[in-house]
């Protein structure tokens, strides 16, 4: 096995992308995705974390992207044990789901959670039918720690996905500490669950996963969250603030050999940037320009890999504003 690394971002519709990266003529929902897909051949859909997708919307995603494009889809919050407000759910499910004292749907009977998985999976059929569906990203919260109940839930979730690829990202260090690392990776590998490597601030905090280079299926998957330790645990901060990071080239050069190793043993390899704020950088004219961190970081990594001789996909159209 040997894969070409596909580089992309963890959203194509963030506000800052719309304001600073897309040209004014391409700021409609249709224009943004078509423009993105000319420059990158993979992306994550993250709106599905906040609300269950509608099949009509997913059909538009499939129609607006070219053959060979791969879209990974972030699991709806309830699928990864995050609480949600009832209004995030379809009307026919709301009446059946218990609400806690904060007005959120959190703990719920397993059959009803299974129904959420079913509705989510059925809505993705247009991408699946078009051969464009990548993995389902299950990003678990920091309170989802290594223990028997969590392992059991992973097994149940894998079955509930009904054959779709399961990408697993942990947010608690217990999964990869010295006591549990071998068992975690073995567990995922034996059950065909794809381990998600992360690049994140090196704070040593328990809610930051250490960077462990590994793959548990023929898919190698790396998510880049930036290394902004100052904003990682700020309470009430936005995602743009938490993942506010423009990687220096030398930090991404650290990934050339790990990605070469991962891709060399994989059928599919992805490097996805979850950095979603803006920065200023020198322009070709010598002044400063606003750059959106996701595409800027993605382009730097693509250049780093190409310079190192690591096979990496190139855009059909040269990126602009990166």
Q: Does residue 313 sit within a domain?
A: no
Mean pLDDT computed over 155-180: 97
pLDDT greater than 70 at residue 94: yes
Q: Which two tokens stand for residue 158?
A: 């894998």
% of the chain beyond a pLDDT of 90: 77
Q: Shortest CA distance to 74 belongs to which of 7, 165, 136?
A: 136
Instruction: Report yes or no on 314 lying in a domain.
Output: no
In a domain, residue 50? The reply is: yes
List pLDDT tens digits, range 100-117.
888 898 888 899 899 999
> What pLDDT does 285 receive?
60
pLDDT for 137? 98
Q: What is the gyration radius of the CA atoms in the chain, in angstroms? A: 19
Residue 322 included in any domain:
no
pLDDT score of 322: 44
**Highest-pLDDT range among 248-252, 313-317, 318-322:** 248-252
238 band by pLDDT with thresholds 50, 70 and 90:
confident
Among the ranges given (25-29, 85-89, 129-133, 140-144), the one the predictor scored with the smallest mean pLDDT? 85-89
The CA-CA-CA angle for residues 175, 266, 183, to 5°, reads: 20
Judge whether 7 and 302 are in contact, CB under 8 Å. Answer: yes
According to the model, what pLDDT value does residue 173 have? Answer: 96
pLDDT over 70 (residue 131): yes
Residue 315 lies in a domain: no
Give, in order, the Cα–Cα distances in Å from 267 to each of 39, 152, 310. 22, 28, 15
Which pLDDT band, with edges at 50, 70 and 90, does 186 fall under?
very high
pLDDT at 118: 97
Domain extent at residue 161: 5-307
pLDDT confidence band for 320 (50 / 70 / 90): low
Using the predicted structure, report yes or no on whether residue 89 has a pLDDT greater than 90.
no
Query: Can you give the CATH number for the domain in which 93 is found?
Result: 3.20.20.410
Average pLDDT, the chain: 93
Residue 27, φ and ψ in degrees, nearest 5: -100, 5
Query: Quick one: average pLDDT of 252-273?
Result: 98
In a domain, 199, yes or no: yes
Q: Cα separation of 271 and 277, whole Å?
A: 18
d(CA 243, CA 67): 31
User: Which tens digits make up the pLDDT trace of 16-69?
Assistant: 999 999 999 999 999 999 999 999 999 999 999 999 999 999 999 999 999 999
Mean pLDDT over 254-270 rounds to 98
To the nearest 10°, report the CA torsion of 112, 114, 115, 121.
160
**Domain tally, the chain:** 1
Q: For the residues 132-145, what does the mean pLDDT come to?
A: 97
- Judge whether 319 lies within some domain: no
With respect to residue 150, please indicate whether it lies within any of the assigned structural domains: yes
Q: What is the DSSP letter of 84?
A: B
């Amino acid at each position: 096995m040997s894969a070409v690394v596909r580089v992309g971002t963890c959203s194509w519709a963030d506000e800052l992308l719309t304001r600073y990266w897309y040209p004014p003529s391409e700021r409609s929902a249709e224009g943004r995705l078509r423009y993105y897909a000319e420059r990158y051949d993979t992306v994550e859909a993250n709106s599905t974390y906040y609300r269950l997708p509608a099949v009509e919307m997913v059909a538009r995603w499939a129609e607006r992207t070219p053959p060979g494009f791969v879209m990974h889809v972030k699991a709806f919050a309830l699928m990864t044990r995050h609480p949600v407000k009832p209004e995030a759910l379809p009307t026919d499910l709301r009446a059946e789901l218990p609400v806690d004292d904060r007005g959120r749907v959190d703990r719920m009977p397993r059959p009803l959670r299974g129904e959420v998985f079913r509705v989510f999976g059925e809505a993705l059929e247009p991408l699946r039918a078009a051969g464009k569906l990548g993995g389902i990203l299950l990003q678990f919260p920091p309170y989802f720690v290594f223990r028997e109940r969590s392992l059991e839930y992973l097994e149940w979730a894998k079955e509930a996905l009904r054959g779709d690829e399961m990408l697993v990202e942990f947010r608690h260090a217990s999964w990869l500490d010295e006591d549990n690392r071998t068992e975690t990776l073995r567990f995922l590998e034996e059950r065909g669950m794809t381990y998600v490597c992360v690049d994140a601030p090196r704070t040593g905090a328990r809610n930051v996963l250490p960077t462990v280079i590994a793959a548990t299926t023929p898919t190698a998957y790396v998510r880049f969250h930036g290394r902004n330790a100052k904003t990682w645990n700020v309470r009430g901060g936005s995602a743009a603030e938490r993942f506010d990071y423009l990687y220096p080239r030398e930090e991404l050069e650290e990934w050339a050999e790990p990605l070469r190793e991962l891709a060399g043993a994989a059928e599919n390899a992805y490097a996805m940037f979850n950095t979603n704020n803006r920065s200023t950088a020198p322009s070709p004219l010598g002044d400063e320009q606003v750059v959106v961190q996701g595409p800027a970081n993605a382009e730097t990594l693509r250049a780093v890999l190409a310079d190192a001789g690591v096979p990496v996909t190139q855009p059909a159209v040269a990126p602009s504003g990166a």
